[in-house]
Amino acid sequence: MRGARFGAAVALLGLIVDAGPLAAQFAPQPPWVIPEQPAQTAPAQTTVPRAHVARRIKKSKKVKVARPAKPARPSIAVVHKERHALPLPPNLRKIAQREGYKRVSDLVNFPKFFPGLGVIFVKPDTLPSGPYVCFDRRDRLIATVFMVSIKDIDEHKPFEASAPAFAGKVDHIAHYFNAGHPGMEMPHYHIVLWHVSKKEEARVAQ
């Protein structure tokens, strides 16, 4: 009997102890107390961040544009060929020889290169007056020379002559006395029609 009473007392005590929280839940709250909201957990992020989306869009917008191919540079051989594409000036010495001019050194005892006048050509049938055509060592026509004897001048003989058609324009004229040389032994004057400037004339003396 005592055991039954003790068990009932223990059970009653347990109800009293456990009823506190339950009673607190159903007890009316004062108006100034704000009920606590249950904590909400952030939902799992399922969307892609905007920064990553922007990067993907930028990458997708990049379009590769094919650059035009650079023209190949011409080789040295081609450039060298193009520089020499212009026609070379005619060789007046060869033209003079085709028209019947001969080296004075082949006709009389005369040096092949005469300092001051260069290599001299003449038509044999025009000796001794000329015209004589003079070339430098590069076959460039530099002067046309006529020789007039002192005797013809003293006798007041007329002198008429013309330079060859291929001679070109005259830059300046010079004349000087010569006591005589092979091909024109008598004293005479040289009348020189220079086709080059005085500066280039000085090079012929070498």
Distances (CA, A) of 152 to 149, 168, 177: 5, 28, 14
Sheet holding 188-194, edge to edge: 102-103, 119-122, 132-135, 141-149, 188-194, 172-178
Query: CB under 8 Å, gap of 24 or more: what pairs does 61-66 form?
Result: none
Residues forming a β-bridge with 149: 188
Total length of the chain: 206
CA distance 173 to 145: 10
Give tens-digit pLDDT for 68-123: 666 666 555 555 555 555 677 789 999 999 999 999 999 999 999 988 899 999 99
User: Domains, the chain, ranges and CATH?
Assistant: 92-204 (3.30.200.270)
pLDDT tier at 155, thresholds 50, 70, 90: very high
Q: Are 140 and 146 in contact (CB under 8 A)?
A: no
Give tens-digit pLDDT for 37-47: 555 555 555 55
At 8, give phi and psi (nearest 5°). Answer: -65, -35
Q: Sign (positive/negative) of CA torsion 4, 7, 9, 15? A: negative
Indicate the range of 41-45, 162-166, 179-183 predicted with least confidence.
Answer: 41-45
